[in-house]
Each structure stands twice: as structure tokens, then as C-alpha cells.
């Protein structure tokens, strides 16, 4: 079980990440969590997230946002940044990730994931056999209570 909770790498943010290096490695699909990965918890799409997805699409990546949130939150965000989406993904189950790859036309060998939660994003991506980058939360001071509660347990695993 511990191996399933291990990200490929811990990164500070998707906004400083070397996506060109990932592209050069042969990756073509990118799956992103929304809250605290691309924007703060429950925040709307902003210029920075729109620019990132636009730049990645121009680079040749197929991008998708994958979230456990409902259609209202996810569709609104995805429409504003200009990418595909999958809502109520039931992470950490692998089914959402498998559907996401079908939607963007990639497979486990050329898809990378980015998320901020160990027990949903990391576990789910690993269950699907994908490379997962764990991002430090963008705005941990303004998270919903249930997320802050899970962070306590995440820190125990991350330290190890």
C-alpha cells in the first residue's frame, strides 16, 4: 500500500514545472486536479491557469482536468481554461483516469498527472499506472475542513 501512496516526484507547483522536459521524454497527455493544483480551493480559473493550459496545448499536449467535484465546478473551470474535463471522477479509483486517457487519446506510457492530495490524486494515478507529480497546495490556509483534516495524515506519509 505504501508504494501506491508514493508520487513520482514532489514539486512546488505546476507553474514552475519543466513541461518541455516532460514533452521531450515522450509524454503527450496531462491530467490535472483543479483545487490547490491549478488554482486555490474552489477558486475560479484565473489568467495564470488559462495561460498554462494554453501554452501546454500549443506545445502539443492534450490536457484534461479530472476532479471529484460536480459538473458545475469542473465544466465551468475547464471551459474557461480551454481543456477537456471529467467530473465526479471517484478518485482514487482508477476508472476516472482510464476514461480521461481515452478522452485525450493517450495511454499510461505517455500520460502524466498533477495533483495536490496523496489519498486521491497520488493513489488514483498510481492505481491506473500513471506517473504522478504531487504538488504542494497552492493555498493551504483556505481549504475546506475535510481537506485540512486529510492533510494531517498526508504529512505523516510524506515525511516517510
Q: For residue range 5-58, list pLDDT tens digits in order.
A: 788 998 999 999 999 999 999 999 999 999 999 998 889 999 999 999 999 999
Which pTM value belongs to this model? 0.86
Whether the predicted pLDDT of 160 surpasses 60: no
Tens digits of per-residue pLDDT, 58-101? 999 999 999 999 999 999 999 999 999 999 999 999 999 999 99
Which 3-state string (H, E, C) describes 26-72? CCCEEEECCECCCECCCCCCCHHHHHHHHHHHHHCCEEEEECCCCHH
- Classify residue 37 as exposed, middle or buried by CB count within 10 Å of its CB (0-12, 13-18, 19+): buried
Name the nearest CA neighbour of 154 among 136, 138, 141: 136
List the CATH code of the domain at 3-159. 3.40.50.1000
What pLDDT, in 10s, does the model give residues 127-158? 999 999 999 886 656 666 566 556 555 666 66
Instruction: Quote the pLDDT of residue 117.
Output: 86
The domain ranges of the chain are 3-159
Q: Give the model's pLDDT for residue 158.
A: 60
Amino acid at each position: 500500500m505504501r508504494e501506491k501512496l508514493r508520487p513520482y516526484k514532489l514539486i512546488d507547483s505546476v507553474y514552475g514545472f519543466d513541461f518541455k522536459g516532460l514533452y521531450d521524454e515522450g509524454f503527450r497527455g496531462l491530467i490535472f486536479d483543479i483545487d490547490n493544483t491549478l488554482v486555490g480551493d474552489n477558486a475560479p480559473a484565473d489568467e495564470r491557469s488559462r495561460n498554462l493550459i494554453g501554452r501546454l496545448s500549443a506545445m502539443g499536449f492534450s490536457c484534461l482536468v479530472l476532479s471529484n467535484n460536480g459538473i458545475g465546478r469542473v465544466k465551468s473551470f475547464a471551459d474557461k481554461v480551454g481543456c477537456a474535463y471529467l467530473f465526479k471522477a471517484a478518485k482514487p479509483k482508477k476508472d476516472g483516469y482510464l476514461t480521461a486517457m481515452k478522452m485525450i487519446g493517450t495511454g499510461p506510457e505517455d500520460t502524466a498527472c498533477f495533483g495536490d492530495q496523496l489519498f486521491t490524486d497520488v493513489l488514483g494515478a498510481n492505481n491506473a499506472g500513471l506517473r504522478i507529480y504531487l504538488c504542494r497546495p497552492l493555498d493551504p490556509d483556505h481549504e475546506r475542513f475535510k481537506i485540512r483534516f486529510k492533510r494531517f495524515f498526508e504529512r505523516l506519509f510524506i515525511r516517510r
